[in-house]
Amino acid sequence: MHSRFLTRKTGVRRFAANVRFTHEPLVTSSDRFSFTVNGRDGAARTGAISMPRGNIRTPAFMPVGTAGTVKAMYMDQVRELGADVVLGNTYHLMLRPGAERVADLGGLHKFMNWPHPILTDSGGFQVMSLSKLRKLDENGVTFQSHIDGARHVLTPERSMEIQALLGSDIQMQFDECVKLPCSDEEAERAMRLSLRWAERSRKSFAGKPGQTTFGIVQGGAVPALRIESAKALADMDFGGLAIGGLAVGEPQDIMLQMIEVVEPHLPQDKPRYLMGVGTPDDLIEAVSRGVDMFDCVMPTRAGRHGLAYSRFGKINLRNAKHSNDPRPLDPESNCPAARDYSRAYLHHLVRSEEILGMMLLTWVNLAYYQELMSGMRAAIAEAHFTDFKQQTKLAWALGDV
């Protein structure tokens, strides 16, 4: 299955990104957190994070389960698509149903019926983007809930306490994320505050054996600030480091430039996580620059709004041209939603705002994202990543209509 093959329509040679790797082996779990790089091709690398609850094959895409659910998906579906880890959100879960309640009910894994690794973000981004009347100071952030207007205080210590109550396996430091573009002065202020909060988060981390915490590199679009942040966090000995504050309004070339600036200063023996990213093109470009982990709401959100991702590129099922099209999205896909339903039917569901349409297209999109990650892992292991990247992008550009 790792070999190349000819497409029926264009003759373009395609690699593993375009087939499901249903038999890709899992590595043996460990009673502690560890990370191993098993292969490299240029800056791209493939490996595995080993944890008591299971293993995360890298590069990895984490479906976003914001409020304890990956929207429009059953959790066993998510697992069957190849996901090793999902993301939960501290901000949303602290507001509803409440971290203490989740803990009383046995923790987030039991609550959402996902016995595999979970990463929780710190809530910092959502506090800045969703909450009302927020007030930020050295201690933390005071804000009003976007749900009911109730007043809350979130500090580095409280963020880590919430994540401990949830029982997540990878817990993120509390940070301040600024929108781009912003002034250099604003980027520097937020970066330095995030570094102080990183130290407080690390000291407050009360994880059980096998759990870990990640620091978050900030600094806006200023290379010197990004480098300073990365170096300082590397000295704090986190389990891994994330690159935050990107995909928040800046062009892709700025995002990629910041990854290139930061990567040489990140520890080689720890996983690198690009937060909140992104499109399939973002993923393949970031992997080529040494990133190991990703999360994004894009595949699930797009699916709920009629947009499918596939090896042919994006397909907008709202378009009238699909109304009489009997073809499936991809007759060669291992995902039943992409293989067994006509475009005409999917178009009908989308235009009728049927819940089934949202479910099927979310399934399609998450399947493709996991296929893309599996293909990248195989290509890196076989030292064909550059070829893989070129052929995958060419297939997107050619489309299928």
Radius of gyration over alpha carbons of the chain, in Å? 21
Catalytic residue among 175, 282, 292, 295: 295
Amino acid at 326: P
SS3 content of the chain, % helix, strand, coil (to 5): 40, 20, 40
Q: Within 10 A of 67 (CB to CB), how many other CB atoms are there? A: 15
Distance from C-alpha of 341 to C-alpha of 71, rounded to nearest angstrom: 20
Asked whether the beta carbons of 332 and 45 are under 8 A apart, the reply is no
Distance from C-alpha of 119 to C-alpha of 273, rounded to nearest angstrom: 11
Based on the residue annotation, tell me whether 175 is a catalytic residue of this protein: no
Q: Which residues contact 101 (CB under 8 A, 6 or more apart)?
A: none
Alpha helices for 205-244 (secondary structure H) = 223-235
Catalytic residue among 41, 121, 169, 330: 121
Alpha helices for 274-354 (secondary structure H) = 280-287, 298-304, 336-339, 343-351
Distance from C-alpha of 281 to C-alpha of 395, rounded to nearest angstrom: 12
Based on the residue annotation, tell me whether 253 is a catalytic residue of this protein: no
Catalytic residues: 121, 295
